[in-house]
Structure 1
């Protein structure tokens, strides 16, 4: 049996995500404690996803949306309206900067944005680096088990 982790039964973020982290975390009004600062509840997940992506390097809005979709195991892609709203707001707040090159806007994280990632309990950090491999290994084991079961039938 596969372990519950961020992807299979994750953070209560919509399709494909379930109960994983319980009442201490979520975007639907559960208590967030110090995580509520500086972003508040509105856009909590998307703002942190944006910072996580930009912590890897500068990116365009389309590249950010694509990377968020990959991180969420293709269950969620932010709408352009939501994404660009938060990119503008986070730029105004000083968490990200905008550079223009050949008519494209590139976003990059600022020192203040990195401080948010470093100083806040950041649940997506481990998804990005460590848990993806574990998830893939678990899915491979599951497929092998199901294949064996189907072969016996």
Structure 2
């Protein structure tokens, strides 16, 4: 998958500036695709040149002009073709997992610190995802939202992000328990 597919999917929500897309990537798309603002802005320029999106300039008083991007028919066709392609298995590349895999008992404190940091990140992301979920539901039940909403993809991917962070927290807690029990039994 390329960044452009994630951008096209994000633009299905409607017209957005590069700044809005960067915030959207950080808040919701980040549960399945990471991109820096610099990568995003470069990709927006390439996608405009390729005819996948179009941009219009909105003049603003007392602020720089804003470019709003929207998906074109060509971009929509590319996204639908991508959706129809078979999916490749997910590949995980996680520096923390390499540290855990290679640890010895003398590394317990260092790995414990890494795990505690990861738990904090997961808890913060989970809190953001839950706020986004509440905003999407807007007082409706999940069942009502899923039956009434025109586009359910953002909600379904959000649920996957929530489950992922919940599992990260569960695994960190388990791993910390193992390390701490080993440390007290060695003493």
TM-score by length of 1: 0.52
Instruction: Structure 1: give runs of 5+ residues left out of the alignment.
Output: 1-43
SS at match of 1:108: strand
Name the residue aligned to 2:80: 118
Query: In the alignment, what sits opposite 2:172?
Result: 143
Give the 5 Å matches for 1:5-84: 45-69=2-26, 71-72=29-30, 76-78=34-36, 80=38, 82-84=39-41
Residue aligning to 2:70: 108
- Are the structure 2 counterparts of residues 105 and 122 from structure 1 closer, same or farther at C-alpha, using a change threshold of 3 Å? farther
Identify which range, 121-130 or 55-64, moves more after superposition. Answer: 121-130
Give the C-alpha shift of residue 48 in structure 1. Answer: 1.7
In 2, Cα distance between the equivalents of 1:75 and 1:53? 11
Q: Of the two, which has the highest radius of gyration?
A: 2
In structure 2, the gaps of 5 or more residues are 91-152
Pairwise CA RMSD: 3.4
Task: Give the distance between the partners of 2:171 and 2:160, measured in 1 at CA.
Answer: 16
Give the helix-richer structure, 1 or 2.
2
Distance 2:66 2:76 in 1: 23
Residues 69 and 75 of structure 1 are in contact (CA less than 8 Å); yes or no, is this contact kept in structure 2?
no
CA contact (8 A) 1:97 1:108 kept: yes
C-alpha spacing 1:114/1:129, structure 2 compared with 1 (3 Å): farther
Normalised by the length of structure 2, the TM-score is 0.45
Decide whether the 8 Å contact of 2:3 with 2:35 is kept in 1. Answer: no
Deviations 1:7-58 (A, max 9, x none): xxxxxxxxxxxxxxxxxxxxxxxxxxxxxxxxxxxxx622222212212332
Number of residues paired by the alignment?
109
**Distance change (3 Å), C-alpha of 1:129 and 1:73:** closer
